[in-house]
Amino acid sequence: MSEPVASLASLLSLAAERDPDGVAILDQGTTTSWTEAVTQSGRMAAALLDADVQPGDRVGVHYRKSADSFLAMHAVVQQGAIAVPLDPSASGSYLNSVIEQTGCRVVMTHPPCLATIHTMVQSSSLDVVLGVAEPTDEASTHATFLDRAAMDLLTPIDPIEVDLDWPAYIITTSGSTGRPKGICHTHRSAMAYVRFKEEAYDFGPADRISDIAPNHFDISTLALWVTPFVGATNVIVAEQYQMFPASLSKLMAEEQISVWYSVPYLLTQLLNRGSLNEVDLSKLRWILFGGEVFPTEALRTLMDQMPAARFSNVYGPAEVNACTIHHLPGPPEPNSPIPIGQPVGDTQVQLVDDQLNPNADKGEIWVQSPTMMKEYWQQPELTSRAIWTDQQTGEQWYRTGDLGWLDQNGDLVFAGRVDHQVKVRGHRVELEAIEAVLEDADQIVHAIATVARNTDGSDIVISGVSLHPGSSLDVTALRSHCADRLPVYAVPVVFYPMTTTSDTGVPTTGSGKLDRRTLRADLDRLHTSPKISPKDQPNA
């Protein structure tokens, strides 16, 4: 294995040594040089030190996409602390469960997140908030606040010497019970990923790389860590552009983005509603996509519209970062799946059947890679279930839960899941977690959740719920109940009433349990049936 020489802590200062005046960050026309990036992250790091943040401490990083969302991640790892990026769209209650799970005492944030921060400090263990002023119109809290202007008065400090095996960041997803699961990467695993990316692509200082995925979504690791390593410019794409493909394509042209990395959903939105023929995207030379399956027809059309750009399918659960890549030689054949390709760098992949035999034609994708996470934060049982250790050799394999097979070119092709995990616009969603949260609501007896495809090609979570006698379906209350406990993308968009098991033949399994698999399929059919709307449908 190639030994990474640098840690994440030194990425900004190394970039500044190479090219002090080079543009580190471009945020809607405003630029930050590498030298300024070092100074600003050094001031943020000084604020962390003043707050007594020590190596190994977890620090919440709660920002909408901005120059500060990039700098704050670097400031935390520069101090040897562990960054816990928080979903800026999630509710304060959900984020408090993340804070609790990871044991954050300090959070870094900025004014656009103020409302959520207020909710969080009222009922969590947070005692320092960096980046916003103390609220004057709210009940006082025990937390100390330091706003950005005050942080700017601090003397920047240098990164500390970090051990490569120290944890660097924790990405949380909702586990199958609804309890957040923290995927913990070390400086070593993150730097191995950075090296792989450098090897797989010829990114350089002339590139402008999109920084579009929120930091809690692992697609962001390219912009966060690889961009400074190769000395390219990080182009911030604020969330609101993602909602408006016509504004987004204009921004891509104006900021001359050369490397794009997002989920396919965003690219299909650009294709369908981005008015691509109205903008000059000639600088866009490489499009990477990952996180979910790209519908073949949409990709064919997009590639036809952008003949100058290379397209690559990137695969890898957050636990192992990216581990395989497929560079498309040209537009894919109709009706053929897009392969997830070949392992990168020192990564090894094997297909294991359900009897645990390796080298299966089709099986679960197991990955061995220096990019593998250290653990699920403080959940050793979960970790030992996910990482299989060979008792003889000590080799460790991450069991992805994804199924795959090899095509005639030896390329890996994704073939679904071994469990009930699904993807919603690239985000992992555990259906059991959504159902458990719904069934926890007062008025609900049983709940079924599934993911359905909308006519525009996007996926949404839909649910069927049966109510206690005398209860009525209060969609607003139910949505709010879910938003307190789940990430936003997992909150059901549509609720269908179901009759209760007591008075109808709702399918059950042999053991009398609810037959969730059948009900989910029924629900999907119900939703995609054009004649029936949620309001007039009594049974799921």
Partner 1 sequence: MPEQTTGQTAAPSEQVQDLLTFVRDEVCLLPLDLQLETDLLLTGAVDSLGVIRITQWLEDELGIEVDPIEVTLENFRTVGLIVTYCQTKGAAL
Q: Tell me how far, at minimum, the Cβ of 243 lies from partner 1, in Å.
A: 4
In degrees to the nearest 10, what's the CA dihedral of 23, 24, 27, 31? -40
345 within 8 A of 4, measured Cβ to Cβ? no
Three-state secondary structure call for residue 4: coil
The DSSP 8-state label assigned to residue 371 in this structure reads T
* Residues whose CB falls within 8 Å of the CB of residue 373, separated by 6 or more in sequence, listed in order: 183, 184, 185, 189, 318, 319, 320, 398
Cα dist from 92 to 61, 116, 166, 338, whole Å? 14, 5, 29, 38
What tokens were used for 129? 């908030």
Residue with Cβ nearer partner 1 (214 or 228): 214
Q: Tell me how far, at minimum, the Cβ of 238 lies from partner 1, in Å.
A: 9
181 within 8 A of 173, measured Cβ to Cβ? yes
- Cα 329 vs. chain centroid, distance in angstroms? 27
What is the identity of the amino acid at 169? Y
Q: Tell me how far, at minimum, the Cβ of 274 lies from partner 1, in Å.
A: 7
Measured CA to CA, the distance from residue 37 to residue 16 in angstroms comes to: 8
Q: Tell me how far, at minimum, the Cβ of 113 lies from partner 1, in Å.
A: 9
Residue with Cβ nearer partner 1 (364 or 459): 459
What tokens were used for 185? 């990467």
Q: Tell me how far, at minimum, the Cβ of 246 lies from partner 1, in Å.
A: 5
What is the identity of the amino acid at 224? L
Instruction: Return the residue matching tokens 């809607």.
Output: 28
Residue with Cβ nearer partner 1 (213 or 412): 213
12 within 8 A of 41, measured Cβ to Cβ? yes
Q: Tell me how far, at minimum, the Cβ of 129 lies from partner 1, in Å.
A: 19
- Cα 326 vs. chain centroid, distance in angstroms? 20
Residue with Cβ nearer partner 1 (300 or 479): 479
Q: Tell me how far, at minimum, the Cβ of 185 lies from partner 1, in Å.
A: 26
Residue with Cβ nearer partner 1 (3 or 278): 278
Q: Tell me how far, at minimum, the Cβ of 244 lies from partner 1, in Å.
A: 5
Beta strands of 54-132 (E only): which ranges? 58-62, 82-85, 106-109, 128-131
CB count within 10 Å of CB 120 equals 28
* Residues whose CB falls within 8 Å of the CB of residue 370, separated by 6 or more in sequence, listed in order: 1, 188, 189, 192, 345, 346, 347
Q: In what order do the strands lie in the sheet with 324-327?
A: 30-33, 23-27, 233-236, 208-211, 259-262, 286-290, 310-315, 324-327, 342-343
Residue with Cβ nearer partner 1 (56 or 111): 111
Residue with Cβ nearer partner 1 (87 or 207): 87
Residue with Cβ nearer partner 1 (301 or 396): 301
Residue with Cβ nearer partner 1 (88 or 370): 88
Residue with Cβ nearer partner 1 (383 or 458): 458
Q: Tell me how far, at minimum, the Cβ of 115 lies from partner 1, in Å.
A: 8
Residues that bind partner 1 (CB under 8 A): 64, 88-89, 91, 112, 115, 239-247, 265-266, 269, 272-275, 278, 454, 456, 458, 460, 475-476, 479-480, 483, 488-489, 491, 493
Measured CA to CA, the distance from residue 224 to residue 108 in angstroms comes to: 16
Q: Tell me how far, at minimum, the Cβ of 512 lies from partner 1, in Å.
A: 36
